[in-house]
Amino acid sequence: MTYTPEPTSQDERSSLSQLRNEVRQTEQRFKATFEQAAVGMAHVAVDGRWLQVNRKLCSIVGYSQQELLTQSFQDITYRDDLDTDLASMQQLLHGNIDTYSMKKRYIRKDNATIWIHLTVSLARDENGAPLYFISVIEDINAQQQLEENLKQQQQAFQTVAENAPDIISRFDPQYRFIYINPSVRRATGREPEEFIGKTHLEAGLPPEHADKWRTYLTQVFATRQSMDAEFPFQGPEGLRLYEARLTPEFDAFGQVVSVLSIARDYTEQKQLEEQRKQLLIREQNARQTAERERKRLYDLFMQVPALIALLHGPEHVFEFANSSYLQLVDNRDLTGKPIREALPELAGQGYYELLDDLYKTGKVLVGNEQKFALDRHHTGTLEDTYLNFIYQPAHNLDGEIDGILVHAVDVTEQVQSRETLKVSQERLQLAQQAGHIGTFEWRVNDDQVLWTPNLEALYGLPAGGFEGTYHKWTELVHPDDLQAVEENLWDSTRGGPAFNIEFRTIWSDGSIHWLLGKANVTDWENGVGTRVVGVNIDITERKEIELQLARTLQQVDFLSEASKLLVASLDYQDILKHVLERAIPALADWCRIDIKSSEAGIEPLSISYPYAVEGTQELQFITDIPVDAGTPSVLETVCRQKHSAIFAHLGKQQLRQIAGTASNYALLRKIKADSALVIPLTIQDMIEGTITFIATADRDPYTDADLNIAQELANRVMMAIERAQIYQNLQELNANLEARVTQRTEELRLLNTDLERSNQELQEFAYVASHDLQEPLRKIQAFGNLLEEEYAEGLGDGKEYLERMRNAASRMRVLIDDLLTFSRVATKTLPFTSSDLNLIVRDVIDDLETRIQETQGRVEVSPLPTIDADSRQMYQVLQNLIGNALKFHRPGVPPVIKVAASLIDTLPEEEEGNAQQQCILTIEDNGIGFDEKYLSKIFTVFQRLHGRNEYEGTGIGLAVVRKIVERHGGQITARSTPGAGATFIITLPAHHLTMKEIEIV
């Protein structure tokens, strides 16, 4: 049966066409929406194949549309997410759900993992059969990463908050706790859970505390600004102080949703701050006290009549000078200037060197009536000024020397007039302040003594260690000085002289220190002093210097007396015995001297020691030659090492080693030997003996100063021994001197005779050369000239022989002239006079001008010195060497000659200490040069290194130069390389003694 559609009407056809257009437009809009959607869209087959994908999805996964359509969604789904996705698809297929959504991960084409949000629905046909899945894919990778970061931050915050010592809490807008960390347990003794969901008041906290927190939270929620709060809280540990930071927290819409609080217990910090404030106040008070003390000391230094100055650094820059010091130099501006600039008139007086030595060694300098020449009125006129001074090193906190403290007294008037001795002594005493100054105040009625910290240090006490009473002060004074000190002090309070006394103190370590006490009574009541103000000055170092000075003076007197004995006789062994007697008690209590023996060892010469004369106070001295011949081991060690030995305190073993024998040991034990010096006696590094000094326990132990004195004595002893040996040697020399003088006189006579004969022969040779030899040559040349002039046409071949004869005669004349010049170097001479080498070279260049122009040469002359020389012979030297340089130049290369000279100081080995000035004269050229293996030959007569056809000459010129240089007491040598030129070097004495100077010598 055939079906034939019924014809439709025109309206129906029109409606159908319109419907088709609408469908087409709808499809186009869908397609455009699908392709241009901001999210990924896809149609996926039931088996997972991609049927249709849009551009966004391709951008998300990194594949092109063609690449995706060849794959399934399973291919790019992250493995851990695939099962969940497939399970949801099955539920969708079975009609259990209409759609599903999930977060999952895709693997991009570049193997990167990306998070997406997937929404899937199922398209079915009219019968309900599945057609394909419709998938919407949203890129949430950035959002997911943000969530992960937020999660990590939340976990980090939770970790920090849970372990933080501070109390961390959060509050909602109703001021209820929504979080609080475990630190609340320590503050309140309660668990965090007891606070959650409650306000402070509901949590059972004190009402006044809850009110404060309500006010804090209200302000933060209202102002949306952070704030700081401080509050006390009474907890299980007592009252604690807290400081809190309250910070608003906002949601995504900018609304305050909570407040975060971090509260810190700063009780201990607050206490430390309070303590710090108190310490700061105490420090400020201490600084003020120190400043007042510094000001008081400054005023004191400025007011004392002594000269006080502080020099800083190795250049001795004035850091401080008091009024007295400035007045001494007419108030010159000294501060900040080195002493060499501030006081230049002291140059050459040894003053600067004293300061330099003190700065290097740290040894205190003490001067008594030392004379200096000073420009006291700044007029340029120097005046003799006499000073008593003590210069001592100033140390920094590290104990290093960084300056010099000057204490001095101008005693010029004392020296000029002994009438002012008392005043000068008082000024000297004040000038000899060798330590720090501390001040005190004694309130007599209250028995209260106020000390500055500096004064506590002078008594060996720590800061604040003095208890501030008169009784406690007396406990610090040496018992042997206490009575005199108290009498002096109390006498001043009853109208007597001002307190002024030197006394000793005993420190806690047992050491003894000296102080100078000075004080005045400032308040009186009924004729009795009630207030005493004064100073204590540490004079320990000055006292030690005075004791050492007295000891040194005694030793110096002994040295002076010993020196007189040592030079009084040439029998030094007998003198040495008497010298050792004088050494007791100036230097020792027991002395021994050992002298080199004939067996190349040393043996005892004498031993000296005192003994008491029975029944009297007198001491006599015994000097014996020891019976025991042994050499103590200590002496052998000193002889071997050639160094002095000092034993500050002798032990038994050391005493036995020094004694050497049982008898000596017993004697030394009997006199209580305590310290020793062993000094080697050396002459020209050879041991001649030893001196041993022993000090008993009644004497201070030996020091380096004693060692210096002992070594000085040893030096003078060796001078005496050496003088005796020299005298003995002189006697032996004198015994043979007359015979040797006679022999030497005869040798000189014979030498003079030979010299006179040689000079006569030389004169005869010169005469022969100048007359007998030259006369035939002149005739030969004259006849040759006549033959050429009159018979030249008839000579034929003989003309060549005639020319050879004339050339030979010319060469012979030049040779004779050169020989005459060589022979006259020593006979036809001028005396040595001051000769300017510049003028001599100029004359030579003028005479050689033609040759210089012919060779196109150049002579470069550096500035030359003036020396003592025979100017005519120096002309010959320079003319010869410059002429040779012009003659022996390389073909095609213009000669360049450089003449230079310099003066140097030399020190002949046979004349130590007498430096002589030498002139080094060099003539350098760029000529043909020569091989240095011929250097020893070129300065001898008739030596030529080149043929006569190549270069003219007789070979005598350099021999003449050498002879002239030697006559001047000089030397000549040369350096050269063939083809690279030559340099001739002449060394000449710059100055020669005149006859008058020779006579003086």
pLDDT tens for 264-276 read 888 888 888 888 8
Which of 13-17, 393-397, 893-897, 901-905 has the lowest average pLDDT? 13-17
Residues 553 and 714: their CA atoms lie apart, in Å, by 18
DSSP single-letter state for residue 257 = E
- Tell me what pLDDT residue 338 has: 92
Span 890-901, pLDDT tens digits: 888 899 999 999
- Tell me what pLDDT residue 128 has: 85
**Quick check: 932 pLDDT over 80?**
yes
Residues 93 and 807: their CA atoms lie apart, in Å, by 141
- Tell me what pLDDT residue 662 has: 79
User: In the predicted model, what is the mean pLDDT of the chain?
Assistant: 79
**Quick check: 626 pLDDT over 80?**
no
Residue with more model confidence, 309 or 947: 309
Which of 105-119, 287-301, 385-399, 778-792 has the lowest average pLDDT? 778-792
**Quick check: 860 pLDDT over 90?**
yes
**Quick check: 665 pLDDT over 50?**
yes
Reported confidence tier of residue 43, pLDDT bands at 50, 70, 90 = very high
> In three state form, how does the secondary structure of 579-619 look?
HHHHHHHHCCCEEEEEEECCCCCEEEEEEEEEEECCCCCCE
- Tell me what pLDDT residue 172 has: 92
Both tokens assigned to 788: 């050429």
**Quick check: 286 pLDDT over 80?**
no
DSSP single-letter state for residue 386 = E
How many other C-beta atoms lie within 10 A of the C-beta of residue 408?
23
- Tell me what pLDDT residue 431 has: 37
Domains assigned to the chain:
25-145 (3.30.450.20), 164-265 (3.30.450.20), 304-431 (3.30.450.20), 437-536 (3.30.450.20), 539-824 (3.30.450.40), 829-997 (3.30.565.10)
Instruction: State CA 128 to chain mean position distance.
Output: 100
- Tell me what pLDDT residue 435 has: 46
Q: What one-letter code names the amino acid at 465?
A: G
DSSP single-letter state for residue 77 = B
DSSP letters for 834-861: EEEHHHHHHHHHHHTHHHHHHHT-EEEE
Both tokens assigned to 423: 């005043």
In sequence order, the β-bridge partners of residue 145 are none
- Tell me what pLDDT residue 616 has: 37
**Quick check: 949 pLDDT over 60?**
no
Would you say the pTM of this structure is higher than 0.75? no
DSSP letters for 699-746: SPPP-HHHHHHHHHHHHHHHHHHHHHHHHHHHHHHHHHHHHHHHHHHH
What contacts 847, CB < 8 A, 6 or more positions away? 879
Reported confidence tier of residue 511, pLDDT bands at 50, 70, 90 = confident
- Tell me what pLDDT residue 913 has: 45
For 929, left (φ over 0), alpha (ψ -120 to 50), or beta? left
Residue with more model confidence, 53 or 183: 53
Span 514-552, pLDDT tens digits: 999 999 988 988 888 889 999 888 888 888 777 777 667
**Quick check: 615 pLDDT over 70?**
no
Taking a C-beta distance cutoff of 8 angstroms, is the pair 673, 695 a contact?
Answer: yes
Span 57-90, pLDDT tens digits: 998 999 998 999 999 999 999 999 999 999 999 9
What contacts 571, CB < 8 A, 6 or more positions away? 724
Task: Please state whether the peptide bond connecting residue 393 to the residue before it is cis, i.e. omega within 30 degrees of 0.
Answer: no
Which of 564-578, 872-886, 974-988 has the lowest average pLDDT? 564-578
- Look at residues 222, 240, 223 and name the one whose alpha carbon lies nearest to residue 232: 240
**pLDDT (average), residues 616-638:** 56
**pLDDT (average), residues 867-896:** 88
Percentage with pLDDT > 70 across the chain: 75
Determine phi and psi for 228, rounding to 5 degrees: -110, 145
Reported confidence tier of residue 805, pLDDT bands at 50, 70, 90 = low
What contacts 831, CB < 8 A, 6 or more positions away? 870
Span 482-504, pLDDT tens digits: 999 999 999 988 988 999 999 99
Reported confidence tier of residue 436, pLDDT bands at 50, 70, 90 = low
**Quick check: 584 pLDDT over 90?**
no
- Tell me what pLDDT residue 998 has: 43
Reported confidence tier of residue 865, pLDDT bands at 50, 70, 90 = very high
Reported confidence tier of residue 960, pLDDT bands at 50, 70, 90 = confident
- Tell me what pLDDT residue 173 has: 92
Reported confidence tier of residue 247, pLDDT bands at 50, 70, 90 = very high
**Quick check: 223 pLDDT over 90?**
yes
What contacts 694, CB < 8 A, 6 or more positions away? 588, 589, 590, 591, 592, 658, 668, 671, 673, 675, 676
Which of 125-134, 290-299, 351-360 has the lowest average pLDDT? 290-299
- Tell me what pLDDT residue 627 has: 47
Reported confidence tier of residue 720, pLDDT bands at 50, 70, 90 = confident
- Alpha helices (H) along 768-848: 774-795, 798-823, 837-847
Reported confidence tier of residue 837, pLDDT bands at 50, 70, 90 = very high
Rank 18-22, 284-288, 370-374, 698-702 by mean pLDDT and report only the highest. Answer: 370-374
